[in-house]
């Protein structure tokens, strides 16, 4: 646990964000290994199957990410205000939400897998493998939910190092099992899916056991969890818009994938690999935004709004510097990176074309995500949701539909970053109003009852 209300803002944000960044490097590496293994040992159809399933899985995890974000903000604010009894109650309430949602969405996701893939117009030579992968990963949803909730709790307490160890463990297990199941056992995409489920399960269960033995505040008796209606409402007030935002992003990418699917397996495979690299490059901004969210939560709870503003400017400076370097790398060397996943030159050409176009606009994504990180940390999740809704559904998706009919795949690629400008403007305008300074949830009376 780390107190973020004292010390130099830029140093705190960097040291808090760095373990998250390294952790997400492992997370993306974790996802990339799946693509690399099937691309190298199975074929482009399997590569496309994993790629087209990813937004659907992300959609189902979105609500869990929302609960994780809501939990993160409440834990950070209560911890910053030194209200440790409410920290404990928030953790218990979050676990109860996790179990209920995990079971419900596992059933829904498994049943809906094939209809959703048909709706996305997945090519016939990809459909069966995509269905197999998606159904297996859905079985492990509750484990993914558990990881997101534990990570949100820890970051709220200023601990970004333990989630890093959780991810490293999951990544190592996933790599070993991917190679074993696919290369040695010949299980194809099913092997990749089972490797993911087992790795997530091992990481979640291992982290809970570790935390129960090392963190007094996080020690959990799952047979005697306490539930608070007030905290439940606050988690969903903050977390539901964040979950809806993530769901909107995922639905948007599903629509974009459906548009890409219309251009055939080669374009889908190139887009799938390039999207993995795209996710990798966007990580620093996302993690700095998450670090700023925890920093903001604790300082809002402590009444230090001026520190929040100084932290925001430091985060922007750091994030934009990193973004410029990474954007330059994928613009000039994206074809080499894509070639790591597949030897097929036509797939590489499609992916590199996409990367060169969006690389120019990453700075907008960086500003948008860091600004939204501050706003969420203050306890206002509705504005980031509106920002995402406008960026994705009012700008990006309509542009992709229209432009793809005029310029083909180039139209889709140019539509991808089009929404970032709108989202950035909305977030910055809200920040300038200063309304985020009045969103603290500390100091309220909270009641609880045993489950």
Domain residue extents for the chain? 16-440
How many C-beta neighbours within 10 Å does residue 346 have?
Answer: 13
Residue 145: closest CA among 189, 182, 95: 95
Q: Which residue has the tokens 């190298």?
A: 40
Q: What are phi and psi of 312, to 5 degrees?
A: -60, -45
Model pLDDT, residue 180: 92
Q: CA–CA distance from 352 to each of 188, 305, 329 (Å)? A: 26, 43, 12
Non-local CB neighbours of 158 within 8 Å, separated by 6+ positions: 1, 2, 3, 4, 16, 76, 79, 294, 298
Q: Which residue has the higher pLDDT, 244 or 286?
A: 286
Model pLDDT, residue 363: 93
Q: Is the pLDDT of residue 443 over 60?
A: no
Q: pLDDT-derived band of residue 451, with 50, 70 and 90 as boundaries?
A: very low
Rounded to whole angstroms, the Cα distance separating 329 from 381 reads 33
Handedness of CA 318, 319, 322, 324 (dihedral sign): negative
Q: CA–CA distance from 223 to each of 95, 204, 398 (Å)? A: 11, 18, 49
Q: Is the pLDDT of residue 439 over 70?
A: no
The whole-angstrom distance between residue 392's C-alpha and the CA centroid of its chain comes to 16
- Full-model pTM: 0.68
Q: Is the pLDDT of residue 370 over 90?
A: yes
Mean pLDDT of 168-174: 86
Strand ranges for 411-450 from DSSP E? 449-450
- Taking only the tens place, the pLDDT of each residue in 192-246 is 889 988 988 888 888 788 777 877 767 777 778 888 888 888 888 877 777 777 7
């Amino acid at each position: 646990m780390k107190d973020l209300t004292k010390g130099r803002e830029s140093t705190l944000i960097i040291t808090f964000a760095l373990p998250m960044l390294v952790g997400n490097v492992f997370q993306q590496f974790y996802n990339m290994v799946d693509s690399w293994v099937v691309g190298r040992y199975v074929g482009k159809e399997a590569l496309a199957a994993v790629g087209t399933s990813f937004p659907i899985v992300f959609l189902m995890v979105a609500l869990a990410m929302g609960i994780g974000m809501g939990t993160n903000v409440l834990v950070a604010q209560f911890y910053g205000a030194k209200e440790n009894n409410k920290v404990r109650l928030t953790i218990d309430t979050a676990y109860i939400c996790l179990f209920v949602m995990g079971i419900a969405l596992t059933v829904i996701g498994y049943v809906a897998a094939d209809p959703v893939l048909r709706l996305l117009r997945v090519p016939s030579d990809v459909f069966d493998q995509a269905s197999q992968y998606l159904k297996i990963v859905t079985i492990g949803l509750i484990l993914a939910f558990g990881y997101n909730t534990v990570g949100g709790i820890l970051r709220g307490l200023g601990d970004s190092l333990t989630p890093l160890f959780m991810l490293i463990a999951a990544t190592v297990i996933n790599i070993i099992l991917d190679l074993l199941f696919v290369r040695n056992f010949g299980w194809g995409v099913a092997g990749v899916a089972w490797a993911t489920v087992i790795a997530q399960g091992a990481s979640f269960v291992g982290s809970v056991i570790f935390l129960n033995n090392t963190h007094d505040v996080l020690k959990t008796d799952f047979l005697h969890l306490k539930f608070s209606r007030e905290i439940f409402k606050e988690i969903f007030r903050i977390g539901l818009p964040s979950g809806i935002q993530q769901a909107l992003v995922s639905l948007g990418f599903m629509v974009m994938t459906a548009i890409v699917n219309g251009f055939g397996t080669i374009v889908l495979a190139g887009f799938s690999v390039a999207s993995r690299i795209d996710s990798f490059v966007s990580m620093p901004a996302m993690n700095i935004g998450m670090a700023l969210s925890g920093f903001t939560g604790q300082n809002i709870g402590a009444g230090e709004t001026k520190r929040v503003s100084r932290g925001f400017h430091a985060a922007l400076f750091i994030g934009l510097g990193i973004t410029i370097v990474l954007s330059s790398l994928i613009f000039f060397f994206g074809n080499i990176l894509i070639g790591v996943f597949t030897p097929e030159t036509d797939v590489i050409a499609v992916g590199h074309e996409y990367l060169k176009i969006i690389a120019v606009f990453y700075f907008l994504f960086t500003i948008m995500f860091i600004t939204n990180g501050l706003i969420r940390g203050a306890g206002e999740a509705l504005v980031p949701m509106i920002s995402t809704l406008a960026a994705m559904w009012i700008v990006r998706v309509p542009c992709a539909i229209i432009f793809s009919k005029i310029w083909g795949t180039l139209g889709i690629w140019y539509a991808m970053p089009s929404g970032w400008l709108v989202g950035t403007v909305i977030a910055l305008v809200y920040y300038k109003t200063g309304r985020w300074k009045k969103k603290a949830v500390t100091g309220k009376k909270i009641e609880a009852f045993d489950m």
